[in-house]
Copies of this chain bind each other. A is one copy, B any other.
């Protein structure tokens, strides 16, 4: 069991921010990643459709003999995790619960903002988890549908992005939140602009760090940590646009794709 790979999936490239954190905290683990670039984005689709896509990808990862599955997409974690985890024989983790845990620990005034896709905010799952941890906290959701296209356009430190951020976050600031969850895997790339909008006294929470930590804890408890007897051979699957994915991945991950031979990129049709 120990030396089996970990399956990670996302609607596209955003989940690579979670992969990066797993590679950093669990450098001996081998990763099989699936990015559903042929059907991206998930954020404005229905819970039923996102669950159907997630189930299909989870089955694909299971066929690769993974020892655990991480849903590195907030929308899929929000809509699909609780359903699919009951259907599969391996442990599954999402990014929502770890994100909620970190936010609950970070807040001082109990007023927490959650920004994410329309689907993630509509699901109300961050609020549900946050109130399980602290029933007295107040949670304010705000969908930010333009953030992902702005990141994909590369307008990261940009006056227009700053204005969009100011508009989206003005309601959360009115509610006096002191903590905001970056509830979409693309948003950590906009951290600087968002921090400028909300000011230094608001804590921004990136669920990726805590997700990797929970994964490590879970593997350690089961004595499933990879023994590192051979260097990991990561594999990345996408359902479309391999070359574009490779370029984005190379700009995010600490390893070069394909070139070094320790990472493989494959295109797979669902």
Contact = CB atoms under 8 A, between A and B. Distances in A.
A164 interface: yes
Contact of A167 (B44, B146, B160, B163): B160
Contacts of A150: 146
Given A38-B39, A160-B160, A240 B46 contact: yes
Pick the most buried of A48, A49, A150: most chain B CB atoms within 10 A of its CB: A49
Contacts of A145: 149, 152-153
Interface residues of A, number: 22
* Count of chain copies: 2
A45 interface: yes
A199 interface: no
A241 interface: yes
A145 B41 CA distance: 14
A150 B152 CA distance: 14
A164 to B, nearest CB: 6
Nearest to A155: B146
Interface in A129-164: 145-146, 149-150, 152-153, 159-160, 163-164
A143 B83 CA distance: 39
Interface in A29-86: 37-39, 44-46, 48-49
Contact of A45 (B38, B44, B49, B160): B38
A239 B39 CA distance: 12
A181 B160 CA distance: 25
Contacts of A159: 163
Contacts of A37: 45
B160 A49 contact: no
Contacts of A48: 240
22 contacts: A37-B45, A38-B45, A38-B49, A44-B241, A45-B240, A46-B240, A48-B240, A49-B239, A49-B240, A145-B149, A145-B152, A145-B153, A146-B146, A146-B149, A146-B150, A146-B153, A159-B163, A160-B160, A160-B163, A160-B164, A160-B167, A163-B163
